[in-house]
Structure formats: C-alpha cells, structure tokens
Amino acid sequence: MILVREISKSFGSLSAVRNVSFELPTGQIAGLLGPNGAGKSTTIRMITGFLAPDKGSISIVGYDIQKNAQQAQSLIGYLPESAPIYPEMSVIGYLKHRAKLYQVPGRDIAPAIDKAMALTRITNVAKRRVGQLSKGYRQRVGLAAALVHNPQVLILDEPTNGLDPTQIHDTRSLIRELSQDRTTLVCSHILPEVERTCDRVIVMAGGQIRADGSPQDLINASPGPVRYIVEIRTNPSAGIDHALRILATIPGVAITKAAANQPQDAAKGWSIIEIEASPKENDLREAIAATADDNGLFIRELRKIVPTLETLFMQLVDTAPAQANLSTNTPSTAQGGDQ
C-alpha cells in the first residue's frame, strides 16, 4: 500500500505541492490526473523517493520513503514516461541488468526474468535487441523491467502514451491483470484511459487534490444541472417560444432555450431545445415526453446528456484557485499550492 500524509514541496517561492494526502490499498488501481503544472510529477518523484518533501511523510508497505529509503524503493516498480531502456541491448540482457540493479539474488535472476517476460508477454522477443522492437513492445519491456524484482507497488507514468489503439487495449488489460495483488498508481493525462483502467481517480490542479473517488462516483457527485436535448415540432404559427413555455412548466426544469444549431427542416416546425434540470438524480425524459404529447408537441429525438470524467476534469481545472475539493473517498484530504 501507499500512504501519503500532508506532503508539501516548494521550489523557491513556487509552491508545487502543499498538504497532499491519500492512501492506496493493495489491489487498487488509482489514476493521478491533472494538467501540466498540477503537481503530478512532483508528487510521483516524492513517492518514488527521488525528491524529498519539505514536510509530510510517505510510506510504502509500511516503510518510510525517507527513513527507510532502500527498503521502500525495493518494493516499488516504476515505469517512467520515457522508459530508460538501452536500444543496443537484447531484451533478456536488459532485464538481467535491471535485476542486478534491484539486487535480485543471482540464483533468482533467471526465474525472475522468465516470470516478468511471461507476465508482459514478451518471451517471444527475449533475444531481440530492444531498439528493433515496436513502441508497444518497448513499453512492455519497460514494464517487465519494473516487475523483475516482484514489487508490491507499481507506479506507471503515461503507460499508453504514443501507442496505437490495439497496443493501448493490450496495455490496459495487462495493467489490470498485474494489479490484482499489487497497489498501482497510474499517472496520465488521457482521461478515457484512466476511466477505463482505474478503480479510483485523484485529480490534481494547482498543487492540490481537487477530486478523489471512483470515476462514476465523482461524475455522480459533480456540481451542476443535468442537460437534455429535445428535437421537437411545434405549430409554425406558435413558434418555438410556445414549446419553451410548455416545457418550462415541468417540475425540476430550470432553463429551456433554443439550441444554436437547428435542423435543416426548421421551416416545417422542427426545433432543437436544450433543457437544464435539477436535481440531477431525477430522470425527466418521461415527464418531457408526456408533457409534449399532452400539448400537441411532437418529439423526434430526446436524449439525456450524461456527464463524463472529462467534463468534471475541465470544471475542476478551470476553477482550481477557488474550487472546493470534490471527494467521495474519505481517507483523502488535500489543500493546495500553485504550480
């Protein structure tokens, strides 16, 4: 597990991370999201022991990363965004080199390499030079190197960056498979991948945690009304204002307005209306359809706009200086700085 408590880091007058806390249990895949300058990289560098926090503490499976650095780092498998691989080395030679760096006992190196290659499905390229491999395979080699010492914690920085759709799918499946008995932290800016891969999302902005919880729980707890799009036909003599007034009578409807883009057959009375409603827990599609029918309005399309993690992310980032934290995960708290 990873336990982060009240860590802060400044560079001169610049506060990069301040009072950040979270806890990741074994078996969980957490995604660390944030725009450039959010404090993600600084946080990762502190967790892996490459950068000392100004204050606060970090423990890896019970070992303090500052007080017991060797023990803590020996439990971490780290794949940076640009994996430090040597193109002239063979895959098996590179993994042997990494195993020695991790101080894997000599008698255990060969079986450790075999296991890491089997887990990442690169046994078939064991004798090939790393530089001859595709980017997807090189990424797997980097992941095998992070696994060769059988770590209890995996930290992956942009693991699918630059991969094609098939490679992304394979890497996502591999991460889920590898994380069943490990703690995994994925640092990424690719929101759909985090949503598909991770059990939990931690959003950073301005050096602090702005949201923490499962993707769906965060979406459900996000602020703002729910939206509906209605393509509706009214009597041309009554016009769209008539439909807007009727739909505004539905309990829970806050705003009705004509959409900017209207269908080509607008002359026949068809219009597109946007509806904002609250509380968002209520689904108003049935009420909208019934009200329209009762008042002689014909609906051709009615859809509910489902919020996405990307929508929430943009809201949190845009309002970072003043936004209150959105958390559905009790153990995590944070206050922020301004990187």
**Predicted confidence (pLDDT) per residue in 36-94, tens digit:** 888 999 999 999 999 999 999 999 999 999 999 999 999 999 998 877 789 999 999 99
Q: What is the pLDDT of residue 336?
A: 40
CATH assignment at residue 191: 3.40.50.300
Q: For the residues 194-212, what does the mean pLDDT come to? A: 92
Q: Are residues 216 and 317 in the same domain?
A: yes
Q: Are residues 157 and 280 in the same domain?
A: no
**Does the structure show a pLDDT above 80 at 152?**
yes
Q: For the residues 226-232, what does the mean pLDDT come to? A: 91
Q: For the residues 218-233, what does the mean pLDDT come to? A: 83
Q: Are residues 213 and 242 in the same domain?
A: no
Q: Within a domain: residue 251?
A: yes
Higher pLDDT, 295 or 264: 295
3-state secondary structure of 56: strand
**Does the structure show a pLDDT above 80 at 239?**
no
Residues 6+ apart with CB under 8 A from 96: 109, 113
Q: Are residues 254 and 214 in the same domain?
A: no
Confidence (pTM): 0.79
Strand pairing partners for 272?
231
Q: Within a domain: residue 259?
A: yes
**Does the structure show a pLDDT above 60 at 331?**
no
Q: Are residues 12 and 55 in the same domain?
A: yes
Digit-coded pLDDT (tens) for 308-322: 888 788 877 776 554
Look at residues 218, 223, 226 and name the one whose alpha carbon lies nearest to residue 33.
Answer: 218
Q: Within a domain: residue 89?
A: no
The domain tally of the chain equals 2
Q: Are residues 166 and 295 in the same domain?
A: no
Q: Are residues 217 and 231 in the same domain?
A: no
Q: Within a domain: residue 53?
A: yes
The amino acid sitting at 9 is K
Q: Within a domain: residue 101?
A: no
**Does the structure show a pLDDT above 70 at 330?**
no
**How far is residue 212's CA from residue 185's CA, in Å, rounded to a whole number?**
13
Q: Are residues 164 and 56 in the same domain?
A: yes
218 band by pLDDT with thresholds 50, 70 and 90: confident
Least confident of 22-31, 225-234, 274-283, 311-320: 311-320
Residue by residue, DSSP assigns 114-138 as HHHHHHHT-GGGTTSBGGGS-HHHH
Q: Within a domain: residue 147?
A: no
Q: Are residues 191 and 235 in the same domain?
A: no
Q: Are residues 212 and 242 in the same domain?
A: no
**Does the structure show a pLDDT above 50 at 338?**
no
Residues of the domain holding 14? 2-75+152-221+312-334
Q: Within a domain: residue 62?
A: yes
